[in-house]
A and B are shown apart, each in its own frame.
Chain A
């Protein structure tokens, strides 16, 4: 099916959920509200004409100061049998950054959702194991948010533990005969 036809089909099935259909360079994005995302995904997976059996990617985008709601979770879906691709852009508000997990539909969503949580702080309801994946578990903040600084909050000297490490290394270098 043509991507625009797919978008229309989603709009017919869920008229209240689709807010916009946009197209750029022959790729179609369907903008959705987040409430019925799981139902829509299940519909896309199970409908024999659509048959989206392969979840390509999930990622988050932070539109700080550009759009409200602030976040978007972007889903790329592909059907290996039908050979068509669609992009879902789900609006996620800043005060409740929670989306329903789709790990029950596609197993591959597991780590993508964990990464999205790790990098942007969007949490996924019903995820079996929502931990940080790339960063250490005690890391503070979500690096891909636009208000997260590129080069650290403080100077090198103020980095917690830095002075202690320097002192310790000086102490260890001292050698008494």
Chain B
């Protein structure tokens, strides 16, 4: 006998979750209509971190728009940089030299590992398994130290350049990274023993937030969030960029499309990323790190400014007007960042600044699917669903 039959008056409770909530991974606000513990309606409110990146991009040169991309998904800045740089290179029709491409691939995959590790730690923390969080930051620290060694920054890297990378990697970096790839599979096993067969973890993740393959595609999901439903779509395989066509890796797929399968996909992706890094270090060719025609896009070395008039003029023009060789046209270039498909659609009118710079952010699309995942489920599962779509609000709001 339910409450209405008993004659007890009931009404739906409206709950505002966030914008400051530890489990929302940023500033996401959800308006939840609750019937007891069941979520009847979920309305996400985003935009708290909106900084107008697209508008800013239209008013900056191709070079100075690069640091803006750091601030999109701020825990995987290097991958965003690589995405932007690839789009601009495609627009200008230049190609980075082989060594630079390998370095970029290494950086992208290091970013993927550090981003997935942070996801694993916080997702487990949200659901109630705190220990993983403490261990996962150990490996993240190692990777961030390596980033610092190469480009001087831990988070906002701005390391790739149009036509290559900023500086070469050192032997010390490669040795340390190789040691990391040797140790990482063991560490990964540690995490898995902590949660893989944990009964609480299984109860909280299996059969929660289920989305079928056709529906996931229809909603425009990408990355591991899509592949957990068993759809084989990975930008690295569909539109290979950098050296993804020269290394061997598998695309892990789930079957059930629930929180647990997406978790398994990301864990397997960590192994594959590790494999890619290892292959890249082994294959890393010697040679230049900037394309021959990259001088039109990259600032001359600082010491030359004091000696050579040409460098000074070149520097001035690049900073004020931007690269002057832009063709008129438009390109869409997608890359697989840890969250999913990050696309840059750049419209050029031939000047040194992009006429329109559109960022197709995976987190924005993933946040839009939250009502579909949460409605009809329990309040506690909202937390699991926010974790499983792996959103970063800096990227969502741009």
Contact = CB atoms under 8 A, between A and B. Distances in A.
Query: How many of chain B's residues touch chain A, expressed as a range?
Result: 35 or more
Given A25-B93, A150-B59, A53 B217 contact: yes
Interface stretch (B46-54, B123-131, B313-321): B46-54
Nearest to B237: A83
A56 B349 contact: no
Contacts of B219: 106-108
Query: How many interface residues does chain A have, given as a range?
Result: 35 or more
B364 interface: yes
B332 interface: yes
Contacts of A21: none
Q: How would you classify the secondary structure of chain A's contact residues: helix, strand, loop or mixed?
A: mixed
A80 B368 CA distance: 21
A112 B334 CA distance: 17
| Main SS class of interface, B | mixed
Contact of A54 (B90, B217, B347, B358): B217
A27 B332 contact: yes
Among A29, A107, A150, the one with the most B-chain Cβ atoms within 10 Å of its Cβ is A107
Nearest to B328: A24
B379 interface: no
A56 B233 contact: no
A144 B219 CA distance: 25
Q: Which of B47, B55, B327 has the most CB of A within 10 A?
A: B47
Nearest to B92: A25
A112 B365 CA distance: 8
Across the A-B interface, the 7 shortest Cβ-Cβ residue pairs = A108-B220, A24-B329, A134-B47, A111-B368, A57-B360, A59-B358, A134-B50
Interface of A: 24-25, 27, 29, 53-57, 59, 61-62, 66, 74, 76, 80, 83, 85, 87, 106-112, 115, 119, 132-136, 143-144, 148, 150
18 contacts: A24-B329, A25-B93, A54-B217, A56-B341, A57-B358, A57-B360, A61-B356, A80-B231, A80-B233, A87-B332, A107-B218, A107-B220, A110-B368, A115-B364, A134-B50, A135-B50, A143-B52, A144-B54
